[in-house]
Chain A
């Protein structure tokens, strides 16, 4: 393969620039808003693709990891530490340069944690949590694993819904922009849209490159061996528990990273981001994209989220993803882009029998 596997990336970059230029010249840059948001969701979904498509482990709790990534920075960067300024902890943090002081929209003096430390904390916390949860949970298989991760997702949802610190049912608003580097800021300002489009897709491409390299490496082959047959992989000397855990933690961190960025981009987060419907949506999109096809999952992630965020599914939004999941599982288990429709329909009508499988 060699460099050939990077050619699609070059095409992708060219395509992204083209989209941006076209919107610029037709005065339709507003499309970039939903594209940016879709890119962050696609980051969760490509991470989940590694876990589901390659390592063969399902997770119905990824909205939980996304929400942890979103809520921790949201809470830290909006919680006003000004009244606690005298406390030693606050003073230590301030001395370490981890806090930012300023005034809010209404002229009140505020002191918040800087987005960088809160971002790092959120990622570490997610990785740690994924590790602790993953260790026992990944011993389970199939339905049992799905149920355990579903349980985890529900717990996260309930915790965010119940804690006043996280704004309960209303979530957290007025999350400040994230000054990533000098001159590069993640923010939902109308003026910063093009910049944020490139930030989001830049992050997504870095994530993709990482995943592409990973799945083509020795570890990636081991993942696929586990997917094929865990027992056989074990017999070949692959440390299956450790590898499964690695895939789980990596995909959780991807979800959390998307959560951090999207929350700063949106300027807020609500409990709906942690809901089970979101987890199911992620799984559905991985399935549509073809499970073990990073590119398919990537494009479906962008496309379906883009359409959903533009309200194209109207009142049937959640239903659409449920139906998609069912249809894909029934008729195109390898994903929409690899659907050999005619062959399948002929087979359905019994014209030609499926090739005999050796099982």
Chain B
């Protein structure tokens, strides 16, 4: 009995100390009067870290840069990045924490659609601006007053691919996808929009995200002589492996990939077989070769060079989503000052903002602000990404 009581009291003591003393100590260390608190919930670790990692690094870099140069009209940004590891329950907990405790002005992220959907209502209720870095279209459809997103629409990527197929006279295709959220969403859009473009999906295959060899699937598809092209939708090295397996088998149909292919590592995996792959992507990957008069050129080159100089890794379009979210917020604050309602209105009516994802034109009905022109068709030539010219 005494032991139970002792452990009970010890635990209560530890608990009280942890709960009340620690946070107070943290708060006392950062007293600032004229700062705008911005929260970010990003999957810096875990399965979605390829999204959240570059996003967090980008946003931190931009915030430091901004504060070093005097902030927005003198208002400094205090950034609070929370690592959700892609777990929705953590995103929920952090969102509530940021909103109520830190009383943040706005939240950037989360990185994944699942997390964003969990906190969409919370932000809406608390009237806190949410600038999501996740792609799913349900985030902004139906439109919630305080919720925006920066990545391009999956459906536009599909339109771009199908448009190109139509031009080449392709009507019967095979669809391959990874078993991740990204793959599933893409497959859904591909299936939904095929009839609109007069395209028939002859065969569908889903593979594991850790797949290291797809030759069996390739052999199966190859036996179907109707297939004129293959579309693959995933964000894993299998994208390069698929190209390799297809060329090894001597199958010469065109291979289309999603915007998930926009990482030079996957080209390296595919080697020579990756040559000629066609895929839609934001223009970040081809910033160097854009014509000089392209509106995005300066923005893209600056971001790319800054990021690569600072972190010694290639800039990805995912980090670009974080860049756009941060810059959109800063621009709105710069226009109307740090007033949440006014900033929300400013974002909703923002026109012609040049970001890494494209040129954003928000409207009350469109909280994404990007159209199909945000994508360019790219291809691989001599181991590099280049603009695809038909």
Contact = CB atoms under 8 A, between A and B. Distances in A.
Interface of A: 1, 4-5, 7-8, 11-12, 15, 19, 22, 28, 30-31, 33-34, 37, 105-106, 161-162, 167-171, 173-174, 188-190, 262, 266-270, 272-273, 290, 293, 295-296, 299-300, 302-303, 306-312, 314-315, 317-318, 337-338
B83 A317 contact: yes
B88 A272 contact: yes
B136 A170 contact: yes
Given A34-B97, A190-B96, 15 more contacts: A1-B1, A5-B4, A33-B96, A37-B89, A190-B100, A266-B118, A270-B114, A273-B87, A302-B15, A306-B19, A311-B82, A311-B94, A318-B46, A318-B85, A337-B11
Contacts of A161: 179
B181 interface: yes
Contacts of A5: 1, 4
A264 to B, nearest CB: 12
A268 B1 contact: no
B212 interface: no
A311 B88 contact: no
A209 B382 CA distance: 70
Interface string B27-69: 0000000000000000011100000000000000000000000
Contact of B89 (A106, A273, A302, A303): A273
A255 B19 CA distance: 25
A37 B87 CA distance: 14
B7 interface: yes
A327 B86 CA distance: 27
A310 B93 contact: yes
Nearest to A275: B87
B248 interface: no
Contact of A189 (B85, B93, B115, B125): B125
A307 B18 contact: yes
Contacts of B120: 173
Contacts of B46: 318
Contact of A170 (B7, B93, B114): B114
A269 B118 CA distance: 8
A299 B10 CA distance: 10
Nearest to A173: B117
Contacts of A290: 7
Nearest to B184: A168
Contact of B121 (A267, A273, A300): A267
B92 interface: yes
Contact of A11 (B8, B44, B118): B8
